[in-house]
Amino acid sequence: VRRLTVPAIQGRKVDGATAEPIVMLTAYTARMAQLLDTHCDMLLVGDSLGQVIYGLDSTVPVSLEMMCAHGAAVRRGSYQSVVVVDMPFGSYEASPQQAFESAARIMKETGCAAVKLEGGEVMAGTIEFLSARGIPVCAHVGLTPQAVNALGGYRARGRDDAERDKILADSKAVTDAGAFAIVIEGVMEPIAREITRSVAIPTIGIGASPACDGQVLVAEDMLGMFERVPRFVKRFDDMAGRISAAAERYASAVRERSFPADEQLYGVKRGS
């Protein structure tokens, strides 16, 4: 199978509507990418790996090195999805030039097809600079986790008119700047619907209602790896429970010396 392309994703939205919603999940490792790839249109190497993989308490400390290493692994593990890599905090905000250098490094080291960065109007110049130089950019508006220290937490955005107008203006600005898609995080349904209706590029929602052109979740959240998840997450499995149960069975088997058994031993005929 040929890998999907950024223009193909952008082209899924025709005359303001997306017939088949765009499916996106995060992946941080090659094996997870392999398992998710055939079911997705896009795989996001999210800087959420800071919390999910590294146990950090926000995405702020995530480095370019981490994003490059995990991005390369996900690219190697996938065959058909468009791989998008998050630009980490501090790697793009200072200037379009800084953003270009970081994005070019990410693309060279990972083979990804696009980068994602957080911010609306304030990042429009940067998005325009990258897009014009061969780097497809996915924007990210609404709740932007890298701004946790400025926002004072991870509350949903757009609860009053000023916030709502700001998110709409941000979405318009990144669209005009040349972003190929927008992740909308943590906003009320009417705002997501209004953005999706008013911009020509696909909107990918997370905690932003079914009004978006596509959906993204952190794979580990969706798989039920965590006991506590935000309201917008649906757990499609209970991997945390299954992993502890498997570890418990393994531990008992070792302690009672029933593992390893004959079938795991070299030099013993199977079934003997």
- The catalytic residue among 185, 194, 227, 248 is 185
* Cβ proximity of 176 and 153 under 8 Å: no
163 is catalytic: no
- Report the site for ligand KIV in 107-146 (rule: CB under 6 A): none
- Among Na ion, ligand KIV, none, residue 220 binds (CB under 5-8 Å by kind): none
Q: Does 216 sit near ligand KIV (CB under 6 A)?
A: yes
User: From residue 126, how far is each of 53, 105, 156, 192, 264 by CA, in Å?
Assistant: 29, 16, 25, 24, 57
- Report the site for ligand KIV in 2-31 (rule: CB under 6 A): 26
Orientation angle between helical segments 124-131 and 96-110, nearest 10 degrees:
50
Nearest CB to ligand KIV, comparing residues 37 and 185 = 185
Q: How far is the CB of 23 from ligand KIV (least distance, A)?
A: 13
User: Any binding-site annotation on 109?
Assistant: no
Choose which of 4, 27, 40, 46 interacts with ligand KIV (CB under 6 A): 46
Q: How far is the CB of 80 from ligand KIV (least distance, A)?
A: 20
User: Any binding-site annotation on 47?
Assistant: yes
User: Any binding-site annotation on 221?
Assistant: no
Nearest to 52 by CA among 90, 25, 21, 34: 25
User: Any binding-site annotation on 118?
Assistant: yes
Nearest CB to ligand KIV, comparing residues 58 and 263 = 58
User: From residue 194, how far is each of 59, 208, 263 by CA, in Å?
Assistant: 28, 11, 61
Task: Give the residue numbers marked as catalytic.
Answer: 185
